[in-house]
Structures are given as structure tokens and as C-alpha cells.
């Protein structure tokens, strides 16, 4: 067993609804002790600001560019994360000296894997300065420089968790994260990893609901449950080249768009898009090494009963069972944040974050940039290092 470290992970995903914070004590390999977690939602004005940032970021050609007001947005987002860390520490009776490292995802504003371009706004050095804790950030870029898609990064954490899955869940088991975009991870009995983005998660439903009602999402699936399935609309999405390509690729928010207003009713659109989430996952599961028997679902999508019902019904037709992460003893809301804590420790130790079977990278590679906090002392190799 290597050195065990205490890490905090910070995740602001494609849903752009808030910050997930989680603590993990880990050696970055097979020792994983999950600690407390916290979710802090963004208010409406901040969500609007991050959505404007998506539009501004479309003009970026180099990942270091911050056109227009994107630099100000990056600073504001970083300070939100610093406040979140300080709140988390206070609530859990912790001090900065109790934490070895923060894994900072930032907010993805542009992801073009075909151009080897991914941009997550978030100022690692500023976060380290504000919290007094070392920060590992920018963990996707080195994968892309090495020929990978830059996503998904969470599979190596799923592999670590798979060892503690209760035996009653039939293998093969696949972890599914339904965030704005869905992704899945297959962990083979020999440790082989196969993972990729599997299509729209909550993103299209959220956009559909917001366009019609002004609300951010369909709480508890209350709108979708009143709707009817529109099969031609599902088939239209599933005919996208994304689902039939020989090479799996990661997705950007703009790769799929919601239906045109008036094409279907509010309720029918919500129900159909909920169905699409499950149908997309199962269509892409055909590219896995084996047919899954159990799907463990994390992310916000597990809280939408219509998504879970549609996914479960479709999976049952293939002899598989769908369960929420909590049924397997995990926390489906904090799993991605936990993963970013785990990845930060791996980065400090120079361990691989991505693999040929997860992102298509040519060979397993580490990644991340280290920003030093506290007394400015740091240990362990990282892909890059920034010292103020």
C-alpha cells in the first residue's frame, strides 16, 4: 500500500446546476475511504453567467484563450469553488492543513475532441491561494495531447469501487453516470476497463423544460410522467452518426439539441427525452466487451423516476437490472466529486488517469497541473506544476 492521502474533489458538471464536494482518503489505487460530501447549488444569476460563457467560448481556438468576459467568469467560478471548500471545511470541523490536495474539475465550456481541444474554466492557482491547499487541475488536457478524447476520466475510480460491490449484483456490472451527458464504465473481471460517453443524459430534458417553463429541470419527472412516448423522435436521435461510428468519441453539450418548439407537446417531449436517455445507454452498451447484467446509476439522472423507469424497462428486455448507486452502498450524487479527489492523488503520484480502453489514448497516461497552496511545499510528480 502506498501513501494514503486525504483529498477533496470538486465537480461542476454539464448540468451547470451547482458544485459537488466530496472527501476521500485514498492511496490512489485500491484504498478508498469515502468521507463527507456536500452539494451547493448555483443561484439563477450564476447559472445564467455560466451559460453565457458557453456562447463566448465557441470562438476559442487555443485552450489558453479567454475571450470577452470569459476571464471574469473564470475568476468568479473559482471564487465560488473556494467559498464552497471553506464552507465544507467549516461544516466538517476541518482546517486546510487537514487536506493534502484538492482535485478541481472546473466548468467545461468547450469540448471538441476531434480537434484535441477541451476547455475547463477554473483558475487552479487562485483556488490554491484562496484555500491554502495544493490543487491539481486541468486533468483532461494531457490525455488529448496523447491522442485521447479527454473523457471520461472517472472509470479508474469506478474500477476501485467495483471491488466493494455487494455480491448479490450479477456481473458484468457497468457504472452509468447520468449527468448532462451520460457515460458508462465496464470493469472486467481481470480489471480491463472499457468506457465512453453514451449520449444525452439530463441535458436535453433540462433544455426542453427551461425553454417551455423557465424552470431548470423536471423535478421528480413530474412533467414527463404525464407525457406519451414519441418513437419517431427517439429514432431520429438514435440515427445520429455518434451511435454508429466505429470509434467512440466524447460529447460536447452542443452535439445534441432539443426538439424544435411546437414539434411535440411539453409533456410528450419530456417523456420521450427521458426514454432517449436509457435507449442511448443501451444502444452504446453493444460496444462493450460483454453484455452487462447490472447497471449502477449515479449522477442527477438517478433522481428522475421517469428516466429510471424507462431505462429499467429497456434493460429488462435484455436481461439486465438497473439500480441506483445507493442500492450498492455508494453515493450517486457525490461519486464524480469523489473521483476527482481520487484522480488528484493519482496525479500527484504520477499514476495513469486514462487508458486506451477509456478515452482511446495511445497508452495509459497521467495528467493534471499542480498549483501550490499553503507553505508552497509539494511532493510527488505531476504533469505540470504552477507556483505563484
Across the chain, which distance is largest between two alpha carbons, in Å? 60
Q: Do 112 and 52 reside in the same domain of the chain?
A: yes
**224 in the Ramachandran plot: left (φ > 0), alpha (ψ -120 to 50) or beta?**
alpha
Q: What is the pLDDT of residues 134-168, one digit of tens each?
A: 999 999 999 999 999 999 999 999 999 998 888 88
Q: pLDDT at position 375, please? A: 57
Residue 333 lies in a domain: no
pLDDT at residue 383 is higher than 60: no
Q: What is the CATH number of the domain that holds 45?
A: 3.30.420.40
- Cell 491539481 belongs to residue: 136
Nearest-angstrom CA–CA distance, 332 and 119: 26
Nearest-angstrom CA–CA distance, 57 and 41: 23
Q: What is the pLDDT of residues 226-278, one digit of tens each?
A: 999 999 999 999 999 999 998 888 888 889 999 998 899 999 999 999 999 99
What distances in angstroms separate CA 199 from CA 40, 97, 250, 288, 362, one per listed residue? 26, 40, 9, 15, 23
* DSSP per-residue string spanning 357-385: HHH--SS-B---EEE--TTS---S--SEE
Of 102, 106, 153, 159, which is closest to residue 128 (Cα–Cα)? 102
Number of neighbours of residue 148 by Cβ within 10 angstroms:
27
Q: What is the pLDDT of residues 166-219, one digit of tens each?
A: 888 888 999 999 989 999 999 987 888 999 999 999 999 999 999 999 998 999
**281, 306, 328: which is the final residue of a domain?**
328
pLDDT at residue 221 is higher than 50: yes
State which residues form the domain around 380.
Answer: 5-148+359-386
Residue 341 lies in a domain: no
Q: Do 290 and 242 reside in the same domain of the chain?
A: yes
Residue 352 lies in a domain: no
Amino acid at each position: 500500500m502506498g501513501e494514503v492521502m486525504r483529498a477533496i474533489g470538486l465537480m461542476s458538471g454539464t448540468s451547470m446546476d451547482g458544485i459537488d464536494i466530496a472527501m476521500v482518503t485514498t492511496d490512489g489505487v485500491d484504498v478508498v475511504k469515502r468521507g463527507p460530501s456536500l452539494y451547493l447549488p448555483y443561484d439563477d444569476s450564476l447559472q445564467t453567467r455560466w451559460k453565457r460563457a458557453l456562447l463566448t467560448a465557441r470562438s476559442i481556438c487555443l485552450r489558453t484563450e479567454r475571450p470577452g468576459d470569459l476571464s471574469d467568469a473564470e475568476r468568479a467560478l473559482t471564487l465560488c469553488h473556494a467559498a464552497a471548500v471553506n464552507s465544507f471545511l467549516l461544516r466538517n470541523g476541518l482546517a486546510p492543513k487537514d487536506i493534502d490536495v484538492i482535485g478541481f474539475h472546473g466548468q467545461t465550456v468547450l469540448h471538441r475532441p476531434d480537434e484535441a481541444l477541451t476547455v475547463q474554466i477554473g483558475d487552479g492557482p487562485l483556488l490554491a491561494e484562496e484555500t491554502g491547499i495544493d490543487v491539481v487541475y486541468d486533468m483532461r488536457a494531457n490525455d488529448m495531447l496523447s491522442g485521447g478524447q479527454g473523457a471520461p476520466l472517472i472509470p479508474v475510480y469506478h474500477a476501485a469501487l467495483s471491488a466493494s460491490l455487494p455480491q448479490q449484483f450479477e456481473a458484468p456490472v457497468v457504472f452509468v453516470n447520468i449527468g448532462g451527458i451520460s457515460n458508462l464504465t465496464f470493469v472486467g473481471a481481470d480489471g480491463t476497463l472499457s468506457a465512453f460517453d453514451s449520449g444525452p443524459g439530463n441535458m436535453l430534458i433540462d433544455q426542453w423544460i427551461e425553454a417551455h417553463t423557465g424552470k431548470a429541470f423536471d423535478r421528480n419527472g413530474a412533467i414527463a410522467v404525464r407525457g406519451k412516448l414519441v418513437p419517431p423522435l427517439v429514432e431520429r436521435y438514435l440515427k445520429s452518426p455518434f451511435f454508429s461510428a466505429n470509434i467512440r468519441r466524447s460529447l460536447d453539450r452542443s452535439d445534441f439539441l432539443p426538439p424544435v418548439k411546437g414539434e411535440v407537446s411539453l409533456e410528450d417531449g419530456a417523456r420521450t427525452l427521458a426514454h432517449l436517455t436509457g435507449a442511448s445507454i443501451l444502444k452504446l452498451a453493444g460496444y462493450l466487451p460483454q453484455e452487462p447484467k447490472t447497471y449502477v446509476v449515479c449522477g442527477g439522472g438517478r433522481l428522475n423516476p421517469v428516466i429510471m423507469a424507462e431505462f429499467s424497462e429497456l434493460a429488462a428486455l435484455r436481461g439486465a437490472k438497473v439500480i441506483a448507486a445507493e442500492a450498492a452502498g455508494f453515493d450517486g450524487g457525490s461519486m464524480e466529486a469523489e473521483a476527482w479527489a481520487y484522480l488528484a492523488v493519482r496525479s500527484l503520484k504520477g499514476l495513469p488517469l486514462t487508458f486506451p480502453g477509456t478515452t482511446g489514448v495511445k497508452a495509459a497516461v497521467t495528467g493534471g497541473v499542480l498549483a501550490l497552496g499553503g507553505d508552497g511545499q509539494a511532493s510527488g510528480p505531476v504533469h505540470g506544476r504552477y507556483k505563484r
